[in-house]
Structures are given as structure tokens and as C-alpha cells.
Amino acid sequence: LVQSWTLYLKLMATYLWKRYAAYLHTKWEKTFLWDSIEHYKRPQTFTPLVILYASAFYTGVIGAAITEQLYKVHHIVVKRDKVG
């Protein structure tokens, strides 16, 4: 009877150590996997970048329109002065 208990305890201890080793290995694999693909994750959000690009684009459009109007007014004034 005593031998069966010691055998049972040895088997149980072996089983628990194997489970623990498998747990650690699985944990290591998960850590290794996430560490290797962490560099390829997309950024949190692109919203600030999109807002920045859109505002820069429309600032350029408005600046070009103002420049064009000033250029037209300047040429009209210069032509009128030369004619008159």
C-alpha cells in the first residue's frame, strides 16, 4: 500500500512538473510571438495625421486663391495705369 502511494506521488509530481514546463513554454512562445510582431502593429489612429494633411492642403488652396486674386487685381491696376 505504501509503495502505491509513493508511486502515485511520483507520477503526480512528474505530471505537475510536465504541466508547469508546458505552461512556461507556452508562455514563452506567446511572449516571443507578440514581441516579434509588435513592430508591425499599426499605430493607434491616423485621425490626427489626416486632419493635419487636410488642413495643410486647404490652407494651400486658400493661399493660392488669395494669391491669384491679388495677382489679377495688381495686373488690372497696372494695365489701367499704363493705358491711362
Q: Encode pLDDT of 36-78 as tens digits.
A: 777 776 667 888 889 999 999 999 999 999 999 998 888 776 6
What CA–CA distance (Å, rounded) separates 74 from 68?
10
pLDDT reported for residue 36: 75
pLDDT in tens, 5-36: 888 889 999 999 999 988 888 887 777 777 77
- Amino acid type, 81: D
pLDDT reported for residue 52: 95
